[in-house]
Amino acid sequence: MDFFNKFHHYVDENNLIVRQDKVLIAVSGGIDSIVLLDLFLQIRSELNLVLSGVHVNHGLRGKQADRDEIFVRNSIRNIGLPFYSLKMDVKGYSKRKKLSVEEGGRKLRFDFFNTLLKRLSYDKIALAHHAHDQAETIIMNLARGSGIRGMGGMHPQRNKIIHPLLFASKEEIVSYAHHRNLCHVEDHTNRDKTILRNRIRWDIVRSMEESIGSYIIHSISHTGKVMREVQAFIDFESQKALKKVIEHRSQNEIILDIVKFLKYFKIVQKNMLIQILNEIDYPNRYVRSLEIETILRLIEKGRKGSVYCLKNDLMAIKQNNWISFTKMGPPVKEIKVKVGQEYDIPDLGMRFHAECIKKEMEMGMFTNNRWIEYLDYDTLTMPLKIRSWNHGDWFIPLGMSGRKKLHDFFIDAKVPKYKRASVPLLIGGENIVWIIGYRIDDQFKVTDQTTRILKVMMTQI
């Protein structure tokens, strides 16, 4: 079977493309992506595909990177395809986010891809990773202790990302490019051994091929396929288990029952933890076996109140018979609110609403719901706004006559430090009216003299 037919078979076997798909093709200008582009051009008419090219200039190689961008732009436009590109400051971003340059580049690159897919209403983006890249990825994940999930390597398709060349070795790609007289550019950083992937490529993978045989690449890829099948089964069992052990689930916090959790096999426990972390925005590529083992020790032997800080502002906190996984949210952004309108607060996953009602409508209907309060409308200073707390803030708690600093109130109410910035405050003029979810200010309570009531409430989006 020739290379083109192998490509066609792999795409069909893995259902990567269907008729009339709109596909973005990521083109770096290197030989792999140029071959991928050429293959898609050959099947475009047969499958009635809509194609576009996309290029990312990471800003890491100066004039050479700019040269690559120009080459790709001209190549794409010469064949009549739409072209999209973005130049980014990967080093600056990675430094700010405390990521490696490789991790930062990947994050920015895929953010751009996903934005473009959504904006253009495209179905998929095709990347040119091949069998050698797959072998490198699996070995790198093995070195990092990524477990079965990491040993699975790259999937032929995950969401809208497809890898149509995973079947092909580098030699097959080079041979095809020469046969088709395809022009490409070289990236000298592919031989930079300060980069982990390049050390694996040139020192480990190349040595394995020389000492064992070139078939080792496809053997590693096959092992990755087997691991993905195993992982799919474990994922299925873990999802069923999670439904039984999770006690609370919100946008930024998941709490699980330790007693129920420990009844499952270790492999299911570990996978539940990975799924929990991933659900609250902790990318799979950061979850390593060492971190999972540390969380398991916290669950099994940690003292009450023990905390384990993970990346991405995540914390695991052990209590008596439960453990919480909490993402420290950003401070609540200040917004002005008007009576009679609804306001979404995306960072909290909540919606605020206020309505003015006559006193007799709500007499005897006060609730214990902490997200609903009733205020004396005529004591409030307009406009109202919602914001986060500031050091020095104070209010007069309901039922008291003296001031209390919010710092002291949070301590008494056992609100952890990491949650305080995410507690929204309802402000009237310069006064705190309601520490939302906790307490109103005594100055604004409903009394016998109240004629109009402001009903304020928070609901989940």
Q: pLDDT per residue over 420-457, tens digit each?
A: 888 999 999 999 999 999 999 999 998 888 888 999 99
Answer whether 0.85 is exceeded by the pTM. Answer: no
Q: Which of 127-136, 166-175, 382-391 has the lowest mean pLDDT?
A: 382-391
Q: Nearest CA to 369 among 451, 422, 436?
A: 436
| Strand (E) or helix (H) holding 119 | helix 101-120
Bridge partners, 8 (sequence order): none
Determine the pLDDT at residue 284: 52
Bridge partners, 337 (sequence order): 384
Q: Nearest CA to 276 among 302, 300, 233, 242?
A: 242
- Better-predicted residue by pLDDT, 163 or 98: 163
Q: For residue 283, is pLDDT > 70?
A: no
Burial 143-163 (b: 16+ CB within 10 A, else e): eeebbbbbbbbbbbeeebbbb
Determine the pLDDT at residue 282: 62
Structure tokens, 214: 């070139």
Phi and psi angles of residue 460, each rounded to the nearest 5 degrees, phi first = -75, 140
Average pLDDT value for residue range 361-390: 83
Bridge partners, 55 (sequence order): 85
Report the distance separating Cα 297 and Cα 150, nearest Å: 22
Contacts of 256 (CB under 8 A, 6+ apart): 242, 245, 246, 247, 272, 276, 322, 323, 325
Q: For residue 361, is pLDDT > 70?
A: no
SS3 of residue 455 by DSSP? strand
**What's the count of helices (H) and strands (E) in the chain, helices before strands?**
17, 22
Q: Which of 53-67, 153-167, 170-184, 278-292 has the lowest mean pLDDT?
A: 278-292
Q: Nearest CA to 223 among 285, 271, 158, 153?
A: 153
Structure tokens, 1: 């079977």
Report the distance separating Cα 272 and Cα 234, nearest Å: 9
Contacts of 76 (CB under 8 A, 6+ apart): 27, 37, 53, 55, 82, 83
Bridge partners, 342 (sequence order): 353
Q: For residue 244, is pLDDT > 90?
A: yes
Q: Nearest CA to 196 among 132, 140, 128?
A: 140
Average pLDDT value for residue range 118-144: 96
CB atoms within 10 A of CB 315: 16
Structure tokens, 136: 């490198």
Determine the pLDDT at residue 286: 60
In DSSP notation, 269-325 reads: HHHHHHHHHHHTT--GGG--HHHHHHHHHHHHHPPTT-EEE-STTEEEEE-SSEEEE
Report the distance separating Cα 91 and Cα 428, nearest Å: 44
CB atoms within 10 A of CB 329: 19
- Better-predicted residue by pLDDT, 37 or 302: 37
Q: Which domains does the chain have, with CATH numbers?
A: 3-218 (3.40.50.620), 251-327 (3.30.465.60), 335-460 (3.50.40.10)
SS3 of residue 100 by DSSP? coil
| Long-range Cβ contact pairs of 74-78 (< 8 A, separation 24 or more) | 75/27, 75/29, 75/34, 75/37, 75/183, 76/27, 76/37
Average pLDDT value for residue range 210-231: 96
* Confidence tier at 252 by pLDDT (50, 70, 90): confident
Q: pLDDT per residue over 285-340, tens digit each?
A: 567 778 899 999 999 999 888 888 887 778 898 988 999 998 776 788 889 999 98
Identify whether 383 is preceded by a cis peptide bond (ω within 30 of 0): yes
Compute CA distances 355 → 274, 322, 339, 346, whole Å.
42, 38, 5, 21
Residues 70, 79: contact at Cβ < 8 Å? no
Strands of the sheet containing 322-327, edge to edge, are 246-249, 253-257, 322-327, 314-318, 307-309
Q: At what angle do helices 101-120 and 90-97 cross, to 10 degrees?
A: 110
Determine the pLDDT at residue 320: 86
Residues 366, 419: contact at Cβ < 8 Å? no
Whether the CA torsion 171, 175, 178, 180 is positive or negative: it is negative
